[in-house]
């Protein structure tokens, strides 16, 4: 027995190894003979037999697989790539916007603005306008780059670029108020950025891919215990949709997937092969119809402008025996559908509703509505509860001392203070900056006020 060892990487090595073994056996009997092997590949697309197009076996199965998988809605990986890059990129840009409102809250710059009469509505609308303008510039530049580098026409056909811009706009409408809301509960810019980063990675990367794949594999109703993958996917989707990066990433997945299906005639088969096949079908439809009723029938749906300059799909073809056959033309699918896996309507509704909800929630917090509701509820539940915070003991002592000194104003000899202030108040519209402050300053005393930022020290001296 003779064994020939060869590498499996080069395609031509197998026949060479067999030829080497054959020559070894042959020369062992007669050294004057030898066997020569040569390789002459056939042209890929230019083979003609009886004036009909020959599609090689490998090309046929490649086209068939591409059409069947893409037309049926299976992912080819590009939607996950766009979802990862665009989802994380836009979410990280919005995450940076937490620094400014959080810094203003920590330094009490925001409180000073409120004290001077700035309305919370004006404050947040101005912030939203500026941040929204920066975000619009960002998505505009992103859209231009996508169109310039779009080799597979993912964002340049069927109005997908406008849909992408609108989806990004809705993401900003929801994500920016969400960032503002997080700024109320973070203790520093670093902690706020970290919280949003974790939420965006989970909600904008892991959860969308997980739910999308669970629905794709679960649509045949594969059971996991008592619940299907579809049920679990929908439950996870409802939970994470409150994070704006989740419906945005889901929308990118659906947008790219629908575009892959819409562009199957443009990118799924070479234009030359499609033209030859459509020409053959046009010239002799009855003869080719029987051959193409099977797997190749998917290609005929592309036999229409703009893919070829004539139309053969959608036209009834008479077959032997009095039967007829019609190949439907390829139709583009709209992005704005309620389809749970690829439709954008559900995600757009989530982005709009959560953005509106978060902005209203921010205004309710800054207008003190929740504090008022809490006080009213506590007053009803505990009627005797004193909701007014008690004064510190030293403040109470100073207040009582000032009242005693005011009573001794007529007796200069027993009065130690050269300045007495009783129940000083200062209001900026609805904001009470100084509330019934009383103090006295003695002769030769170095006097100062201690308190947190925004307590009213500067206002008192003014």
Predicted confidence band at 362 (pLDDT cuts at 50, 70, 90)?
A: very high
Q: Helix H segments across 228-325?
A: 229-240, 245-262, 264-267, 271-283, 285-292, 297-300
Q: Is the CB of residue 307 less than 8 Å from the CB of residue 273?
A: no
| Stated pTM of the model | 0.71
Name residue, tokens 């989970």: 202
Query: Would you say how long the chain is, in residues?
Result: 462
Residue 49 lies in a domain: no
Q: Is the CB of residue 347 less than 8 Å from the CB of residue 250?
A: yes
Q: H or E segment at 78?
A: helix 78-96
What pLDDT is stored for residue 43 in this prediction? 53
Average pLDDT over residues 61-88: 68
How many Å apart are CA 365 and CA 370, to the nearest integer?
6
Residue 83 lies in a domain: yes
What pLDDT is stored for residue 225 in this prediction? 46
**Are 158 and 229 part of one and the same domain?**
yes
**Are 181 and 238 part of one and the same domain?**
yes
Q: What are the strands, taking DSSP E only, across 271-362?
A: 317-318, 324-325
**pLDDT of 226 strictly over 80:** no
**pLDDT of 62 strictly over 60:** no
**Are 23 and 146 part of one and the same domain?**
no
Average pLDDT over residues 153-167: 92
Predicted confidence band at 8 (pLDDT cuts at 50, 70, 90)?
A: confident
C-alpha 270: how far from chain center: 33
Average pLDDT over residues 358-380: 87
**Are 106 and 245 part of one and the same domain?**
yes
How many Å apart are CA 433 and CA 249, to the nearest integer?
45
**Are 238 and 98 part of one and the same domain?**
yes
3-state secondary structure labels for all residues of 21-41: HHHHHHHHHCCCCCCCCCCCC
Residue 404 lies in a domain: yes
**pLDDT of 166 strictly over 70:** yes
Beta bridge pairs of residue 431: 428
What pLDDT is stored for residue 359 in this prediction? 96
What pLDDT is stored for residue 337 in this prediction? 93
**Range of weakest confidence among 34-38, 290-294, 295-299, 447-451:** 290-294
pLDDT in tens, 411-421: 555 567 788 88
Residue 268 lies in a domain: no
**Are 184 and 101 part of one and the same domain?**
yes
**Are 239 and 349 part of one and the same domain?**
yes
350 versus 4: which is more confidently predicted? 350
**pLDDT of 45 strictly over 50:** no
**Range of weakest confidence among 53-57, 72-76, 97-101:** 53-57
What pLDDT is stored for residue 50 in this prediction? 38
Angle, alpha carbons 161-164-166 (nearest 5°): 110
446 versus 323: which is more confidently predicted? 446
pLDDT in tens, 299-357: 778 888 888 888 878 777 776 666 777 778 888 889 999 988 889 999 999 999 999 99
Residue 54 lies in a domain: no
**Are 354 and 451 part of one and the same domain?**
no
Name residue, tokens 């499996």: 8
**pLDDT of 384 strictly over 70:** no
**Are 92 and 3 part of one and the same domain?**
no
What pLDDT is stored for residue 296 in this prediction? 58
Total domains, the chain: 3
Q: What are the strands, taking DSSP E only, across 2-104?
A: 48-49, 52-53
**pLDDT of 459 strictly over 70:** yes
74 versus 9: which is more confidently predicted? 9
20 versus 429: which is more confidently predicted? 20
Token pair in block for residue 30: 């007669």
Q: What value does the mean pLDDT of the chain take?
A: 80
pLDDT in tens, 447-458: 888 876 667 777
Enclosing domain of residue 168: 73-262+344-366
**Are 127 and 210 part of one and the same domain?**
yes
Q: Which residues of 131-169 are buried (b: 16+ CB within 10 A; e: fewer)?
A: beeebeebbeebbeebeeeeeeebbbbbebbebbbbbbe
What pLDDT is stored for residue 179 in this prediction? 95
Q: Which residues of 348-381 are buried (b: 16+ CB within 10 A; e: fewer)?
A: bebbeebbeebbebbbeebeeeeeeeeeeeeeee
pLDDT in tens, 243-266: 999 999 999 999 999 998 888 888
377 versus 174: which is more confidently predicted? 174
Residue 378 lies in a domain: no
Residue 161 lies in a domain: yes
Angle, alpha carbons 234-239-242 (nearest 5°): 120
**pLDDT of 55 strictly over 90:** no
Predicted confidence band at 51 (pLDDT cuts at 50, 70, 90)?
A: very low
Q: H or E segment at 135?
A: helix 120-148
What pLDDT is stored for residue 61 in this prediction? 45
**Are 204 and 350 part of one and the same domain?**
yes
**pLDDT of 203 strictly over 80:** yes
**Range of weakest confidence among 59-73, 133-147, 338-352:** 59-73
Residue 438 lies in a domain: yes
**Are 90 and 229 part of one and the same domain?**
yes
């Amino acid at each position: 027995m003779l064994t020939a060892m060869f590498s499996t990487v080069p395609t031509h090595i197998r026949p060479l190894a067999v030829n080497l073994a054959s020559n070894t056996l042959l020369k062992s009997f007669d050294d004057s003979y030898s066997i020569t092997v040569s390789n002459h590949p056939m042209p890929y697309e230019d083979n003609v037999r009886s004036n009909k197009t020959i599609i090689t076996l490998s090309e046929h199965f490649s086209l068939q697989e591409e059409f069947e998988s893409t037309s049926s809605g299976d992912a080819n990986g590009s939607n996950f790539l766009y979802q990862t890059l665009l989802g994380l990129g836009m979410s990280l840009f919005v995450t940076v916007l937490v620094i400014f409102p959080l810094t203003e809250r920590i330094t009490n710059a925001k409180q000073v603005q409120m004290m001077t009469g700035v309305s919370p509505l004006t404050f947040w609308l101005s912030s939203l306008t500026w941040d929204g303008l920066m975000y619009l510039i960002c998505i505009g530049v992103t859209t231009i780059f996508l169109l310039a580098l779009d080799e597979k026409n993912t964002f340049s056909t069927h109005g997908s670029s406008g849909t992408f811009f609108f989806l990004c706009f809705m993401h900003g409408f929801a994500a920016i108020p969400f960032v503002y809301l997080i700024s109320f509960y973070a203790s520093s810019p670093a902690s706020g950025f970290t919280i949003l980063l974790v939420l965006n990675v989970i909600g904008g990367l892991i959860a969308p891919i997980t739910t999308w794949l669970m629905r794709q594999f679960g649509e045949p109703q594969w059971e996991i215990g008592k619940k299907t993958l579809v049920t679990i996917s929908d439950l996870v989707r409802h939970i994470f949709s409150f994070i704006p990066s989740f419906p945005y990433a889901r929308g990118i997945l659906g947008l790219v997937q629908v575009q892959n299906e819409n562009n199957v005639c443009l990118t799924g088969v070479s234009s030359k092969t499609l033209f030859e096949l459509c020409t053959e079908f046009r010239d002799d439809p009855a003869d080719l119809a029987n051959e193409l009723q099977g797997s190749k029938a998917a290609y005929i749906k592309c036999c229409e402008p703009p893919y070829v300059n004539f139309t053969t799909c959608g036209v009834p073809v008479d077959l032997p025996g009095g039967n007829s056959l019609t190949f439907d033309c390829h139709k583009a699918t709209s992005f704005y559908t309620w389809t749970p896996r690829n439709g954008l309507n559900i995600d757009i509704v989530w982005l709009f509703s959560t953005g509106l909800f978060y902005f209203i929630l921010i205004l309710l917090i800054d207008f003190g509505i929740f504090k008022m509701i809490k006080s009213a509820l506590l007053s009803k539940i505990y009627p005797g509860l004193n909701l007014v915070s008690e004064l510190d003991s030293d403040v109470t002592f100073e207040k009582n001392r000032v009242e005693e000194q005011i009573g001794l104003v007529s007796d200069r000899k027993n009065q130690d203070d050269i300045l007495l202030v009783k129940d000083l108040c200062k209001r900026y519209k609805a904001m009470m900056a100084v509330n019934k402050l009383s103090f006295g300053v003695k002769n030769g005393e170095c006097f100062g006020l201690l308190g947190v930022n925004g307590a009213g020290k500067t206002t008192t001296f003014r």
